[in-house]
């Protein structure tokens, strides 16, 4: 793997020695060299989502970090796409905004057919996988993990959909997904407690349990969350709110207690 | 600062065994990256033609792109020639498709299997850049080093140096081959962290293709 990518990297974009990569992507340098996004600047943390009885619920916090600085505290990282889907993003926030522009263009041109058909979550997800994979092939990735959820009427009744794509185009469908830190901290909780027939109230409870764990253990998460749902009735993105925290646990106050060490 | 890496290994193991009039293709359904499991139910097997299936492990993004390219080319072949592509023809197409990206390869390790134009079982095994060989059985992917010696031991393929060339197909019956495949997967799952969750088995014979799933260890 490493050997392979290094060989390929050698043929990739060349950065002039000593120059710091410019902030924007695609900034053409004088020598004809093109600077691509080599690493993310402003990033959002975990997104979690799961299917429940009537559709899909998705949640994340509203923070965006500049490295380890908490730069923005009130950004929306979950958005509605068309009539049947919602999208959530972690990773580079400006790349997510570009993806939203692509999706606006896609849903607009789809609407203009005026044929009564509309793109469902499966189609939107498929489109996103191609966009992400094509950009990685150009060595100019969109630095995100995307979660797409939706419900659409199909031949076998309402079909719920929940899928994920990452920055290099790996994609899959699941009953519950989580990006970033959520993959380590929320997925084990979801695997233990998720059920197909959860009510919305139960789903919110489970999501909040995951968000709370992330708030305690993911340093870049903040206590301002947004929950969104998508059902056959359409999407609802709820206003941000905070969770009640409790920092009085003995192991929070004295984490070294019981841990024998030499210092 | 960590550089952008366009590859990732999503793991998984693929096996195929050819018999006189059948072919067994199997792959686990675990999708992982590093120490994380992304999905426990992600199929690695693609039906490319009537009697031709492809099982792939490696980078999932490349695998999907490869499957899409092959499916599209098969459809064009079908329209041009008014017949489905044969498995040996698909084998050459897959080799060419992989080599076309020699200097930015598809990170995919493939086993292509099915029935040839005589109705005999065939297995083609590949590397990521298109080298391939027709064999009687093969294993590819993260668990291949654990499975291949067992298959060698149980199936005793004739040396490719023998003249005249011997038939590479295995002497096993269809149900014995399926049982062997189940056993090698159960064993590899014990030691390979990238193999597990579920096993998808596709059997191809004169009556068509049949799909079967069994559970594997989930830890």
**pLDDT tens per residue, range A81-107:** 999 999 999 999 999 999 999 999 999
Share of chain A above pLDDT 90, in %: 78
Which residues span the domain enclosing A145? 42-240
Q: What average pLDDT does range B115-125 have in this prediction? A: 96
pLDDT at A12: 37
Taking the Cβ of residue A171 and every Cβ of chain B, the question of whether any pair is shorter than 8 Å is answered with yes
Mean pLDDT, all residues of chain A: 89
Q: What average pLDDT does range B151-165 have in this prediction? A: 85
Q: How many CA atoms lie within 13 A of B126 on its CB side?
A: 28
For chains A and B, count residue pairs whose Cβ atoms are closer than 8 Å: 71
| A1/B7 CB distance under 8 A | yes
Q: What CATH number is attached to the domain comprising A173?
A: 3.60.20.10
Q: What average pLDDT does range B156-182 have in this prediction? A: 88
| B60/A133 CB distance under 8 A | no
| A169/B61 CB distance under 8 A | yes
Q: Is residue A73 part of a domain?
A: yes
CB A213 within 8 A of CB A185: yes
Q: What average pLDDT does range B203-211 have in this prediction? A: 96
Share of chain B above pLDDT 90, in %: 91
pLDDT at A15: 40
Which of A47, A48, A46, A112 is CA-nearest to residue A82? Answer: A112
Q: Give the model confidence (pLDDT) of B74-114 as tens digits.
A: 999 999 999 999 999 999 999 999 999 999 999 999 999 99
Is 3.30.300.30 the CATH classification of the domain at B13-216? no
Q: Give the model confidence (pLDDT) of A2-31 as tens digits.
A: 443 433 333 333 444 433 333 444 444 445
Domain count along chain A: 1
Task: Using the predicted structure, report yes or no on whether residue A252 has a pLDDT greater than 70.
Answer: yes
pLDDT at A2: 43
Query: Taking CB atoms and an 8 Å cutoff, what residues of chain A touch B1?
Result: 38-39
pLDDT at B122: 96
Among A68-77, A108-117, B149-158, the least confident range: B149-158
Residue whose entry in the numeric block shows the structure tokens 């305690």: A216
Q: Give the model confidence (pLDDT) of A132-191 as tens digits.
A: 999 999 999 999 999 999 999 988 889 999 999 999 999 999 999 999 999 999 999 999
Q: What average pLDDT does range B52-81 have in this prediction? A: 98
| pTM for the structure as a whole | 0.89
ipTM of the complex: 0.93
Share of chain A above pLDDT 70, in %: 86
Q: Is B88 helix (H, G, I), strand (E, B) or coil?
A: helix
**Backbone angles phi and psi of A148, in degrees to 5:** -125, 125
Task: Using the predicted structure, report yes or no on whether residue B178 has a pLDDT greater than 70.
Answer: yes
Task: Using the predicted structure, report yes or no on whether residue B1 has a pLDDT greater than 90.
Answer: no
Q: Is B155 helix (H, G, I), strand (E, B) or coil?
A: helix
pLDDT at A32: 62
| B33/A170 CB distance under 8 A | yes
Report the DSSP beta bridge partners of residue B211: B202
pLDDT at B169: 87
Q: Is residue A31 part of a domain?
A: no
pLDDT at B167: 80
Q: Which residue of chain A comes nearest to B29, CA vs CA?
A: A172
Q: Which residue of chain B comes nearest to A168, CA vs CA?
A: B6
Q: What average pLDDT does range A201-214 have in this prediction? A: 98
Q: Is A37 helix (H, G, I), strand (E, B) or coil?
A: coil
Q: Is residue A263 part of a domain?
A: no
Q: How many CA atoms lie within 13 A of B219 on its CB side?
A: 2
**Where is A11: in which H helix or E strand?**
helix A2-11
> Exposure pattern of A190-223 as b/e (b: 16+ CB <10 Å)?
beeebeeebeeebbbebbbebbbbbbeebebbbb
CA distances from A181 to A99, A170, A215 (A): 22, 17, 10
- Could you give the CA distance from residue A99 to residue B143 in angstroms, rounded to a whole number? 37
Mean pLDDT, all residues of chain B: 96
Q: Is residue A155 part of a domain?
A: yes
**Sheet-wide strand order for A55-61:** A176-178, A47-52, A55-61, A225-231, A234-237
Going from N- to C-terminal start, the domains of chain B cover: 13-216
| A11/B103 CB distance under 8 A | yes
Q: Is residue A1 part of a domain?
A: no
pLDDT at A35: 61
**A1 contact partners, CB below 8 Å, separation of at least 6:** B5, B7, B8, B9, B107
Q: Is residue A72 part of a domain?
A: yes
Listing DSSP states for A182-240 in one string gives HHHHTHHHHHHH--TT--HHHHHHHHHHHHHHHHHH-TT--S-EEEEEEETTEEEEPPP
**Backbone angles phi and psi of B10, in degrees to 5:** -90, 5
With cut-offs at 50, 70 and 90, classify the pLDDT of residue A256: confident
Nearest to A170 among B1, B8, B104 (CB): B8
Q: Which residue of chain A comes nearest to B43, CA vs CA?
A: A172
């Amino acid at each position: 793997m490493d050997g392979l990518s290094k060989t390929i990297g050698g043929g990739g974009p060349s950065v002039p020695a000593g120059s710091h990569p410019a902030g924007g992507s695609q900034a053409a340098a004088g020598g004809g060299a093109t600077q691509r996004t080599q690493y993310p600047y402003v990033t959002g943390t975990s997104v979690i989502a799961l299917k429940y009885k009537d559709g899909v619920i998705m949640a994340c916090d509203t923070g965006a970090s500049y490295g380890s600085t908490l730069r923005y505290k009130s950004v929306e990282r979950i958005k509605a796409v068309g009539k049947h889907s919602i999208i959530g993003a972690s990773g580079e926030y400006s790349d997510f905004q570009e993806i939203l522009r692509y999706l606006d263009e896609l849903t607009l041109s789809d609407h203009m057919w005026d044929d009564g058909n509309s793109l469902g979550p499966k189609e939107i997800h498929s489109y996103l996988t191609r966009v992400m994979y094509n950009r990685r092939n150009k060595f100019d990735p969109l630095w995100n993990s995307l979660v797409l959820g939706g419900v659409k009427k199909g031949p076998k009744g309402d079909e719920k959909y929940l899928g994920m794509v990452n920055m290099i185009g790996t994609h899959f469908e699941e009953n519950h997904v989580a990006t970033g830190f959520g993959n380590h901290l929320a997925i084990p909780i979801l695997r233990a407690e998720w059920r197909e027939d959860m009510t919305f109230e139960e789903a919110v409870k489970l999501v909040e349990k995951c968000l709370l764990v992330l708030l305690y253990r993911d340093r870049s998460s903040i206590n301002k969350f947004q929950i969104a749902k998508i059902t056959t009735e359409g999407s609802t993105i709820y206003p941000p709110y905070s969770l009640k925290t409790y920092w009085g646990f003995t192991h929070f106050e004295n984490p070294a207690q019981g841990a024998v060490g030499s210092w | 600062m960590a550089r952008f890496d366009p590859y990732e290994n999503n793991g998984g193991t693929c096996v195929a065994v050819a018999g006189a009039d059948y072919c067994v293709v199997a792959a686990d359904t675990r999708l992982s990256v590093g120490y994380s499991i992304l999905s426990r139910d992600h199929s690695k097997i693609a039906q490319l033609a009537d009697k031709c299936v492809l099982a792939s492990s490696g980078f999932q993004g490349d695998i999907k792109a490869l499957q899409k390219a092959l499916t599209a080319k098969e459809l064009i072949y079908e329209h041009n020639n008014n017949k489905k592509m044969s498995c040996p023809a698909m084998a050459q197409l897959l080799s060419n498709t992989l080599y076309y990206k020699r200097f930015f390869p598809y990170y995919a390790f493939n086993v292509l299997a099915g029935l040839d134009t005589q109705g005999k079982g065939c297995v083609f095994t590949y590397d990521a850049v298109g080298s391939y060989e027709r064999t009687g059985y093969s294993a590819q992917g993260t668990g291949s080093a654990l499975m291949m010696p067992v298959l060698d031991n149980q199936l005793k393929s004739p040396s490719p140096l023998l003249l005249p060339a011997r038939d590479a197909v295995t002497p096993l019956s269809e149900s014995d081959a399926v049982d062997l495949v189940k056993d090698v997967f159960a064993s590899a799952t014990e030691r390979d962290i990238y193999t597990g969750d579920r096993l998808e088995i596709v059997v191809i014979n004169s009556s068509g293709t049949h799909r079967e799933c069994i559970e594997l260890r989930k830890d």
